């Protein structure tokens, strides 16, 4: 019997794992952030996470006109929205059948999000507001006391069951309260992307 060297065995195992990854079209990586570039109380708070529109393959979102005290300070390019970043780590197209978000009893699924949609191999997609306030997840609790509600992002891909990604650090609902409200300190809501895991600890 011919015995393969450990180097050859390792190389074959690596090749098999890569082939599996490339062929598994039901994998998806999920991150969340928050975009707010219209807060007239403090323009130093203006922030959108990176990547953004133009930096991903698919962008399902739309800027709007927002006013604060009668002024519009982002000139038709305003965002005040939770943001979901979906990444396809495989070498095959990935079909996303549905995405929606639950924060307590509040559900978000903007009408402008269209499914199914195909993310190309190694591609990315962002989901954000499609009209004013339709994904303003920071205002589920308009008070100043954190409510402890943990956002859950539900993602259906290919033939796999729906996977539930847990926003443990409450990025989408900005810590569980309306942190930008003038009575709550007027803090910045914007937040860079944070990778999520499912309840069982998986990130895909």
Q: What is the mean pLDDT of each run of 10 residues along the chain (204 residues)?
A: 43 36 64 86 76 96 78 76 97 96 98 97 98 95 95 95 96 94 84 92 74
Query: Per-residue DSSP letters for 85-143?
Result: EEE--SSS-EEEEEEEEEETTEEE--TT--SSEEEPTT-EEEE--SSTTTT-GGGSS-S
pLDDT of residue 60: 98
pLDDT of residue 90: 93
pLDDT of residue 91: 94
CA distance 35 to 60: 14
Can you name the residues that pair with 33 across neighbouring β-strands?
83
Neighbours of 43 (CB within 10 A): 11
Tell whether the torsion through CA atoms of 25, 13, 165 and 45 is positive or negative.
negative
pLDDT of residue 11: 41
Q: What pTM did the predictor assign? A: 0.84
φ/ψ region of 107 (left if φ > 0, alpha if ψ in -120 to 50, else beta) reads: beta
């Amino acid at each position: 019997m011919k015995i393969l060297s450990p180097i050859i065995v390792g190389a074959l195992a690596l090749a098999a794992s890569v082939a599996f990854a490339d062929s598994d079209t039901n994998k998806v990586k999920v991150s969340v952030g928050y975009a707010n570039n219209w807060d007239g109380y403090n323009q130093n708070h203006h922030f959108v996470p990176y990547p953004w529109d133009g930096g991903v393959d698919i962008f399902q979102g739309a800027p709007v006109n927002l006013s604060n005290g009668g002024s519009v300070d982002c000139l038709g390019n305003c965002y005040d929205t939770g943001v979901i970043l979906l990444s396809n780590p495989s070498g095959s197209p990935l079909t996303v059948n549905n995405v929606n978000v639950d924060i307590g009893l509040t559900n978000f699924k903007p009408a402008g999000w269209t499914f199914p949609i195909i993310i190309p191999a190694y591609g990315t997609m962002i989901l954000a507001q499609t009209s004013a306030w339709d994904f303003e997840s920071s205002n589920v609790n308009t008070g100043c006391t954190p409510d402890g509600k943990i956002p859950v992002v539900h993602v259906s891909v290919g033939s796999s069951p729906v996977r539930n990604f847990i926003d443990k650090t409450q990025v989408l609902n900005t810590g569980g309260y309306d942190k930008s409200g003038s009575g709550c300190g007027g803090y910045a809501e914007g937040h860079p992307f944070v990778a999520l895991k499912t309840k069982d600890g998986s990130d895909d």
